Amino acid sequence: MVGEVLPDGWRWTTLGEVADPSVRAIVSGPFGSNIGSRFFVEEGVPVIRGNNLTTDMRRFVDDGFVFVTEEKADELGNCDAVVDDLIFTAAGSLGQVGLIPRQAKYPRYIISNKQLRARIDKTRVDPTFSFYWFASREMVEYIQQRNTGSSVPLINLSVLRSLPLPLPPLSEQRAIAHILGTLDDKIELNRRMNETLEAMARALFKSWFVDFDPVRAKAGGRDPGLPQPLADLFPDSFEDSELGEIPEGWTVQGFADTVEIIGGGTPKTSVAEYWDGDIPWFSVVDAPSGSEVWVVDTARKITREGVKNSSTLVLSVGTTIISARGTVGRIALVAVPMAMNQSCYALRGKVGTHGYFTYFATRELVTRLQQHAHGSVFDTITQDTLAGVSLPSPPAALIEAFETLVRPTLECIRAKLLGSRSLASMRDTLLPKLVSGELRVRNPERSSERVGA
C-alpha cells in the first residue's frame, strides 16, 4: 500500500506533518531513571507499558498497569497520553500500536520509557482511521523494518515522524473508521462477555471442588442451594487426608493418574509439504492470555502429511493443552482440531465427557506445577511433575454433573471466539482495501454523521 497511487482527492502525508500544532505532539517516554519501580504506587496515574499494546488490532489493553502519583505525573507532563492519542512501542516488540479510547478507564496516562506518543491534528485526521492504518499488517512490517537498534529493536522520534499516512477527505476517514470500528466493537463485546462467562464457570468449579461449599452447607445443616439431584451428589461431612480435610468418600490422586498425557512433535521444517496446511499447530506463542479459555487458531499450520511424519497427533475439541518447556503453565482448551509441538502436553481427563473438569483442575493446579518445574537451561514440566501433584478426586457422577452444567457456558464462549475470528478475518480483508482507496465508501458524509451522532 505504501507509495501506491491514491484516488483523486487523497494524498500521501507523514505522521509528523499531521501532528497537532498546538502542543508538543510527538514525544518519547521519560528516561528510565525518572520512571523506575521506586516511583510506583498502589494507585494514581497509570503507566502505559508494552503489555497495553498489541499487534493484533486491539486498540488498547486498558488494564495491567503500574501507577505513579499525580505529582510525579505532573513532573512528567510532556509524556502524558489522553483520549485519541496514538501510542507506539519504541523498544522491543516493534509494530505495537495503540489508541487511547474514548471510553478509557482513566482521564490520563503516562507512557513508559519504551513508548512514543503521537497527538494528531483532529481537524485533518480521524484518530481511529490513523490507528487502523498504522496497525495494518503492512505498516507493522514497515515499522519493524525501520529498526535502528542492534541488540534490542528500536525506533526513534525521527522514524515515527516520517511514517507515511494516506490522507483521504476527513468524512471518508471517519466512514472508514466507522466500518472497521463496528467490527472491532463487536469483537471487543464478545471478549468482555466471554470474560464474564468464564469467571462464572471458574467460580462454580472453585465452589464445588476447591472450597467444597455444598459440603460445608450440608455439614452445617444449611441448604446448599442446589436442585435436589445435584445436592444428593455431595456428602454432608469431611474426612482427613494427606491434603487436609476433603469431602467424605472422595479420594486423593496424583494428577497424572486422572488424565491421559499426550506429547506433541514438530514436522521437519526442511520439508515444505509438511507446512502451511490447514491443521493448526499449537505452540506456547498461541496460548490464550488472561482469562481466555479456548484456542481457536495458531500462528502456524501443518498438513496431514506433517502429522503423519512426526510424533504429533490431531487433538480433539475439549482437550486441555499446557505449555511444559520455557514459558510453563500456559493453558488452553482446544476449540478446533489441532496438533501441537513438543514443548506442550495434551491432557484428556479419564472421567468427564467434555474435558471441562480437566481444564479447570489444571488451571487450579498450575501454580503448584510451575513451582515443581525444573531444568538446567529452562523451566520444564515433566510427566513426573504431573504425577507429583495431587488433588482431591470427586466421584465420576459429580464430575459429569459439573460438565453438564457448564457445557452451555463453555460452548457459548467457544462460539463467540469463532465468531470473533470470522469478524477479524473480514476486518483484515477490508482494511487494506479501504485505507488505500481500492474500495471506496459510498456517501461518506452520511456515514461520518452517524459516527458523530
pLDDT tens per residue, range 396-431? 999 999 999 999 999 999 999 999 999 999 999 999
pLDDT tens per residue, range 206-265? 999 999 999 999 999 999 999 999 999 999 999 999 999 999 999 999 999 999 999 999
| Residue 332: inside a domain | yes
pLDDT tens per residue, range 78-89? 999 999 999 999
Residue 285 and residue 151 share a domain = no
What's the pLDDT score for residue 453?
33
What's the pLDDT score for residue 208?
98
What's the pLDDT score for residue 331?
93
In the listed set 116, 143, 164, which residue is the last one of a domain according to the structure?
A: 164
Give the model's confidence band at 288: pLDDT under 50 very low, under 70 low, under 90 confident, else very high.
confident
What's the pLDDT score for residue 231?
97
Residue 143 and residue 34 share a domain = yes
C-alpha cell at 184: 472491532
Give the model's confidence band at 393: pLDDT under 50 very low, under 70 low, under 90 confident, else very high.
very high
Give the model's confidence band at 2: pLDDT under 50 very low, under 70 low, under 90 confident, else very high.
confident
| Residue 337: inside a domain | yes
Q: Is 175 helix (H, G, I), strand (E, B) or coil?
A: helix
| Residue 231: inside a domain | no
What percent of the chain is modeled with pLDDT above 90? 86
What percent of the chain is modeled with pLDDT above 70? 97
Residue 275 and residue 382 share a domain = yes
Residue 159 and residue 25 share a domain = yes
| Residue 136: inside a domain | yes
| Residue 3: inside a domain | no
How does DSSP classify residue 123?
Answer: T
Task: Answer yes or no: pTM beyond 0.85.
Answer: yes
pLDDT tens per residue, range 362-372? 999 998 888 88
| Residue 172: inside a domain | no
Residue 26's contacts (CB-CB under 8 Å, 6 or more residues apart) are 15, 16, 19, 116, 117, 118, 119, 157, 160, 161
Give the model's confidence band at 448: pLDDT under 50 very low, under 70 low, under 90 confident, else very high.
low
Confidence check: pLDDT of 360 > 60: yes
pLDDT tens per residue, range 88-138? 999 999 999 999 999 999 999 999 999 999 999 999 999 999 999 999 999
How does DSSP classify residue 31?
Answer: P
Q: At what angle do helices 127-135 and 170-209 cross, to 10 degrees?
A: 70
Q: How many domains does the chain have?
A: 2
What's the pLDDT score for residue 451?
42
Q: Which residue has the cell 490431531?
A: 314
Residue 154 and residue 18 share a domain = yes
| Residue 306: inside a domain | yes
Confidence check: pLDDT of 446 > 90: no
What's the pLDDT score for residue 452?
38
pLDDT tens per residue, range 153-212? 999 999 999 999 999 999 999 999 999 999 999 999 999 999 999 999 999 999 999 999
What's the pLDDT score for residue 394?
97
Give the model's confidence band at 29: pLDDT under 50 very low, under 70 low, under 90 confident, else very high.
very high
Give the model's confidence band at 287: pLDDT under 50 very low, under 70 low, under 90 confident, else very high.
confident
Chain centroid, CA 369 distance in Å: 22
In the listed set 375, 393, 411, which residue is the last one of a domain according to the structure?
A: 393
Please give the residue range of the domain that contains residue 385.
255-393
Averaged pLDDT, 273-289: 92
For the chain, the average pLDDT equals: 93
In the listed set 360, 393, 426, which residue is the last one of a domain according to the structure?
A: 393
CA torsion through residues 97, 103, 104, 108, sign = positive
- Give one DSSP letter per residue of 374-414, joined into a string: B-SSS-B--HHHHHT-EEEE--HHHHHHHHHHHHHHHHHHH
| Residue 68: inside a domain | yes
How far, in Å, CA of 290 to CA of 92, rounded? 21
Residue 160 and residue 287 share a domain = no
How far, in Å, CA of 242 to CA of 375, rounded? 28
Residue 155 and residue 273 share a domain = no
Helix (H) or strand (E) holding 295: strand 294-295
How far, in Å, CA of 307 to CA of 341, rounded? 11
Half-sphere exposure of 108 (CA within 13 A, CB side): 15
What's the pLDDT score for residue 186?
96
Confidence check: pLDDT of 319 > 60: yes
CATH number of 262's domain: 3.90.220.20
